Amino acid sequence: MCGAGPRLEFVPRSYGKLGHKVQRFAAALAIAGLVVGWIADAANAAERTIKLVALGDSLTAGFQLQGKAAFPVQLERALKAKGDAVEVINAGVSGDTSSGGLARLDWSVPKDTDAVILELGANDMLRGIDPKIPREALGEIVRRLKARNIEVLLCGMRAAPNLGPDYVRAFDPIYPELAAANDLVFYPFFLDGVVNDPKLHIGDGLHPNGEGVAKIVAGILPKVEAVLARVRAKPAS
């Protein structure tokens, strides 16, 4: 009805103050419910198992190592020991170049991948491939992963000095420049602390043994946790 005078609310006189208290209490309960919901959502996000793909060559695959000694297995074990809910998938292929990694990217990195550890380029360097080729291939891998909303931890590689200073100057900057241009989590040298220690290599003097892989894992672990933090910080889809 229109024009019927002021709107009246029925609150019994003897319960007026109590009614306001009940309203305030109900509002407080509603806010508390929202807070509990937010906390539960955050807890669920933190507990969700993150899928991390290690995309690389023999250094990732674990050349001549037992499965439990390979980089992805040791890394997953170390992360779980710190309380991280994570699955690390071994997408390493011995002998692979950066171009080879690009060619198999779509089937090596599943649709539900959250983050990728990108470790490629050592075989390009050992074969003396023009540094422009790994630069372009690695850049395209990063572009495609970012287009899929996948976080990337880029692992750097360094050229052997016997390839000459010109090659070193062209090859070594690929990784830091790519990381800076794309805002990537960056580990400057995958073989840091391992490359010049014969006790940490298998017989060929190139590939790390189980102890060498453990040293790599210890060194790279903070960077892996940094990329996991980026995954967790994303809004739930």
Query: DSSP characters for 121-140?
Result: -HHHHHTT--THHHHHHHHH
User: Are 25 and 111 in the same domain?
Assistant: no
Domain count, the chain: 2
Residue 53 covered by a domain: yes
Q: What is the pLDDT of residues 90-119, one digit of tens each?
A: 999 999 999 999 999 999 999 999 999 999
For residue 152, give the H/E element and its range. strand 151-155
From 150, 147, 122, 116, select the one nearest 134 (Cα to Cα): 122
Give the domain-ending residue among 5, 27, 43.
Answer: 43
pLDDT of the residue at 5: 47
Same-domain pairing of 118 and 20: no
As a whole number, mean pLDDT of residues 122-131 equals: 98
66, part of any domain: yes
Residues 121, 228 within the same domain: yes
Is the pLDDT at 11 greater than 70, yes or no? no
Beta partners for 52?
88, 115
- Set 58, 98, 99, 108: catalytic member: 58
Q: Which of 14, 112, 204, 237 is catalytic?
A: 204
Q: Which residue has the higher pLDDT, 176 or 18?
A: 176
pLDDT for the residue 31: 55
Cβ contact 141:118 at 8 Å: yes
Q: pLDDT at position 23, please?
A: 58
In which order are the strands placed within the sheet that holds 185-187? Answer: 86-92, 50-56, 115-119, 151-155, 185-187
115 with 196, same domain: the answer is yes
pLDDT at 209 over 60: yes
Q: Is 66 left (phi over 0), alpha (psi -120 to 50) or beta?
A: beta
Residue written as token pair 């692992």: 155
**Which ranges in the chain belong to alpha helices (H)?**
16-47, 58-61, 71-81, 98-103, 105-108, 122-126, 132-147, 165-171, 174-182, 210-233
Q: What is the pLDDT of residue 235?
A: 87
Q: For 48, which DSSP code?
A: S
Q: Are 27 and 68 contained in the same domain? A: no
When pLDDT is cut at 50, 70 and 90, the band that residue 226 belongs to is very high
Among candidate residues 57, 84, 98, 207, the one labeled active-site is 207
119 and 21 in a single domain? The answer is no
At residue 236, the pLDDT reads: 75
Q: Are residues 134 and 22 in the same domain?
A: no
Whether residues 25 and 130 share a domain: the answer is no
- pTM here? 0.81
Residue 197 clears pLDDT 50, i.e. is over it: yes
DSSP state letter for 51 = E
Asked if 57 is an active-site residue, the reply is no
137 CB burial (10 A radius; 0-12, 13-18, 19+)? buried
CATH number of domain containing 64: 3.40.50.1110
Is 58 assigned a catalytic role? Answer: yes
Domain that holds residue 153: 49-233
Q: Which of 21-35, 82-96, 136-150 has the lowest mean pLDDT?
A: 21-35
Told to judge if 207 belongs to the known catalytic residues of this protein, a careful annotator would answer yes
Residue 125 CB burial class (10 angstroms; 0-12, 13-18, ≥19): buried
- Judgement on whether residues 38 and 117 belong to the same structural domain of the protein: no
Same domain, 25 and 129: no
Q: Is 35 within the bounds of a domain?
A: yes
The predicted structure's pLDDT at residue 67: 86
